[in-house]
Chain A
Amino acid sequence: MKTGSNLEKVFEAGKFAVTAEIGPPQSANPEPLIHHAKMLNGSADAFNLTDNQTAVVRLSSIASAAIIMKEGIEPVIQMTCRDRNRIALQSDLLGACAIGVKNVLCLTGDHQIFGNEKAAKSVFDFDSVSELYTFNKLRNEGLQPGGNVLEEKPEVYLGCAENPFATPYEFRATRLAKKVNAGADFVQTQAIFDMDMFELWMDEVRSRGLDKKTHILAGLIPMKTAGAARYMKNKVPGMIVPKRIIDRMKNASDAAEEGIKLCVEQIDTLKSMKGVHGVHIMAVKWEEIVPRIAEMAGLLPRPSFD
């Protein structure tokens, strides 16, 4: 065990893991976080707290983690390289570990052009791979990139993201291999809509034995409307939404119910896919639906190790 985080225990016990996301509010009000924490408690093994996702200013992921931990929920904090150089990234890692955060997801981060502070100076001192590489060295050797050795090594379970649907497709399993070599204990994939294409990526992942070296969480976005499907197809770079999915959402008498049904079907497929160790449900602005999806997919109750 690296940290004994709940997420790590689920993986180590060979259980099919479930993670979900909570988007911090665009204010200093902790109530929405507390509300979601209470509502989602028990529906997943750990919850990602996004780090100013799409470069929109929000309550910080580390502060959010402190708030939801009080509700008995385990956080995965996202840490992007967009806004912090290596001094701040290391400092925040130490700070997060000090308050009891055990899971950190290393991301390069969405470019600020997508957000609400387009005039910001970007940092990108690191990218996700060099962030993983650095954090891995810190936890294993206490060694900082500048050569200093920490007085005590932080204990952290490291995750990353990978997108099987971004170009060049033939490189995407290699990129995961790089992240595994750099220290990724688990990976959350970009949202899957084209299951056939995901299978192809998993073939490549399995043939390199990556599923034995890291834990793969298949990413899913439950959709509420046909418009959401179209938006993701047309507006989100590196996302593939097949026409049959858009048609299915469009023709449904109740789009939200259809979106839930689709997500549950996807989970069923993924549960029996070799090398997939769990799902990561990104219910963007629809967090409250996660318990129902988990229930319908037969993923409840979540394993307990107390």
Chain B
Amino acid sequence: MIVAERKPLGEIAEMIAPYEKVCVIGCRSCVAICLAGGEKEVNMLVSAMGLLNRRTGRTQNLDGLVLERQCEKEWVKEVEDRILESDVILSMSCSLGAQTIGDMYPEKIVVPGLNTAIFGVPEEQGVWSEKCLGCGDCIIHTTGGICPIARCAKSMLNGPCGGSSDGHCEVNLELDCAWYAIHERLKLQGRLELMDMVRPPKEWNTSHSGGRRVIVREEARLTSHQKRATEESQ
């Protein structure tokens, strides 16, 4: 899932300060699960901004709502009226949701309430860790199911480096060294020979380094006829 963190309240207050009508929009997907932009967090933010305004004698209309998925146009469309009524959208979704609204209503100003951080997994209550960088060419079948691109601070393909200390990463001794973990996993699986191979340079052109990526699945696309029919039915 995508893991995000709420920006500091002061920064949010500053971004929305010039506007009277603020529409705060959360999302029930990833950011709700990581406790950053779900219903509870939207309500909390609206209250906090209200309190802040009361202290400074400021009047600002704060309208809070939550979408099923802010990155899909169909869900955004359902709250179009409230978007159009507002002076600014404070998106409490990941950047994908914020940009979806921005692209649908280009005249509207959208400000991000969250910092979108990682492709991660919940490790325990309140802890999420990064495990993928979306490089576009997955190799974890050769690394014991552990991604060195995301989990090694230097994205090494031939690790561990000389800084692996008691199985920890030199960059942050509280974190596991990915290649130490890969070594231990492959040992457990009886596949240590995978540690011996010289892995040649990675071809990064499947990653963001190859330019912005757009995935097209022709078989899933609508024909021009189907598109027209869908538009007419709306």
**A interface residues, Cβ below 8 angstroms from B:** 81-82, 86, 108-111, 113, 122, 124-130, 133-134, 145, 161-163, 166-168, 171, 174-175, 177-178, 181-182, 190, 237-238
- How many residue pairs link A and B with beta carbons under 8 A? The number is 97
Among B154, B180, B183, B196, find the residue whose CB has the most chain A CB atoms closer than 10 A: B154
A168:B180 contact, CB within 8 angstroms:
yes
- Residues in A neighbouring B163, C-beta threshold 8 A: 110-111, 163, 166, 237-238
B156 touches A167 (CB 8 A): no
Shortest Cβ gap from A213 to chain B (Å): 14
Complex: how many Å from CA A124 to CA B156?
7
A292 to B114, CA, bound (A): 60
Contact B158 A166 (CB under 8 A): no
In which size bucket is the chain B interface? 20 to 34
Task: Let me know if A167 and B177 touch, CB within 8 A.
Answer: yes
Q: Are B196 and A125 in contact (CB under 8 A)?
A: no
Within the assembled complex, what's the spacing in Å between the Cα atoms of A207 and B162?
Answer: 22
Q: Name which of B82-90, B198-206, B224-232 contacts chain A.
A: B198-206
Q: Which of B49-67 contact A (CB under 8 A)?
A: none
SS of B interface (majority) = loop
The 10 A-B pairs with the shortest beta carbon distances in the complex, nearest first, are A163-B162, A129-B158, A237-B170, A237-B165, A127-B156, A237-B163, A130-B201, A166-B164, A124-B154, A166-B162
The answer to the question of B80 belonging to the interface, with a C-beta cut-off of 8 Å to chain A, is no
The interface residues of chain A lying within 8 Å CB-to-CB of B200 are: 130, 133, 145
Instruction: Pick the contact of B165: A81, A126, A167, A182 (CB < 8 A).
Output: A167
On B, residues with C-beta under 8 Å from A are 153-168, 170-171, 173, 177, 180, 183-184, 195-202, 204
- Nearest-CB residue, chain B, relative to A183: B198
* A241 CB → nearest B CB, Å: 13
15 contacts between A and B (CB under 8 A): A108-B161, A127-B154, A127-B159, A129-B157, A130-B199, A130-B200, A133-B198, A161-B162, A166-B165, A167-B167, A168-B180, A168-B183, A178-B197, A181-B198, A237-B170
Determine the distance from Cα of A145 to Cα of B202 in the docked complex, in whole angstroms.
Answer: 10
Known: A108-B156, A238-B163. A178 touches B201 (CB 8 A): no
Chain B proximity of A299: nearest CB distance (Å): 26
**Are A133 and B201 neighbours in the complex by a CB distance under 8 Å?**
yes
In Å, the complex CA distance between A129 and B200 comes to 8
Q: Which residues of B contact A113 (CB under 8 A)?
A: 153, 171
Chain A residue nearest to B166 in the complex (CB): A167
The answer for the CA separation of A273 and B184 in the assembled complex, in Å, is 31
Task: Check if B201 sits within 8 Å of A177, measured CB to CB.
Answer: no
Is there contact, CB below 8 Å, between A171 and B160? yes
A166 and B161 form a contact (CB under 8 A): yes
Max chain A CB contacts within 10 Å: which of B155, B166, B180?
A: B155
- Report the separation of the CA atoms of residues A182 and B196 in the bound assembly, to the nearest whole angstrom: 11
Extra A-B contacts (11), CB below 8 Å, given A81-B154, A133-B198, A145-B200: A113-B153, A127-B154, A127-B159, A130-B157, A133-B200, A145-B201, A161-B162, A166-B160, A167-B166, A168-B184, A237-B163
Task: Give every chain A residue within 8 A of B165 (Cβ-Cβ).
Answer: 166-167, 237-238
Q: How far is the CB of A185 from chain B (nearest CB, A)?
A: 16
